[in-house]
Amino acid sequence: MKKPLIVLTGPTAAGKTHLSIALAKAVNGEIISADSMQVYKYMDIGSAKIRPEEMQGVKHYLVDELLPQEEFHIVKFQQMAKAAMEEIYAKGKIPVLVGGTGFYIQAITKDIDFTQAKQEDGYRQELEQLAAEKGNEYLHQMLLNVDPVSAGEIHANNVKRVI
């Protein structure tokens, strides 16, 4: 049986914060931030981060949880958001996923598996090393052999896209 999840998304300063609090109160919910910057402590300016006095007693997850030097990526977001959802469900409440980072929203609503992308990091590093040792043109020729259309659209010096 699927568990309920409410999603509220939109651009910064669209009124998501005020609406999400009212919504969470109405449905006995708690809020999970789906924002790539609000998760960081001290990153208050430019992120429209909710202040504790604005939370009106509604618990918020993934806000002020990491230090700015800590790595935060889609896989870590998924892990943290899913853990928060389970904690909310365990209380008999409904999670309200709120934010403007669409990729993060999709990662939860479509339950995309990004572990494969993590596994490809080794091969990516191999290709980067190959470009460093044999040159960008060598790597571009490899692409030409497997995907001539893409090779025709990507300059050899754009190693990231070639890979």
- pTM of structure: 0.70
Residues 99 and 143 occupy one common structural domain: no
Average per-residue pLDDT in the chain? 88
Residue 118: pLDDT band with limits 50, 70, 90: low
Residues 13 and 93 occupy one common structural domain: yes
Has residue 1 been placed in a domain? no
Residues 100, 35: contact at Cβ < 8 Å? yes
111-116 average pLDDT score: 75
Provide the total of helices (H) and of strands (E) in the chain, helices listed first.
8, 4
Domain count, the chain: 2
The rounded distance, in Å, linking the Cα atoms of 6 and 27 is 10
Phi and psi torsions of 5, nearest 5°: -145, 130
Burial per residue of 148-162, b for 16 or more beta-carbon CB atoms within 10 angstroms, e otherwise: eeebeebebeebeeb
8-29 average pLDDT score: 92
Structure confidence at residue 121 (pLDDT): 66
The rounded distance, in Å, linking the Cα atoms of 101 and 103 is 6
The rounded distance, in Å, linking the Cα atoms of 25 and 60 is 12
Residue 86: pLDDT band with limits 50, 70, 90: very high
Name the amino acid, one letter, at 112: I
Under DSSP, is residue 65 helix (H, G, I), strand (E, B) or coil?
coil
Residues 83 and 129 occupy one common structural domain: no
Has residue 105 been placed in a domain? yes
Residues 49 and 82 occupy one common structural domain: yes
* Structure tokens given for 141: 């020729």
Residue 61: pLDDT band with limits 50, 70, 90: very high
In this structure, the number of other CB atoms found within 10 A of the CB of residue 140 comes to 19
Question: Can you give the residue range of the structural domain that contains 24?
Answer: 6-113
Structure confidence at residue 11 (pLDDT): 81
Residues 57, 28: contact at Cβ < 8 Å? no
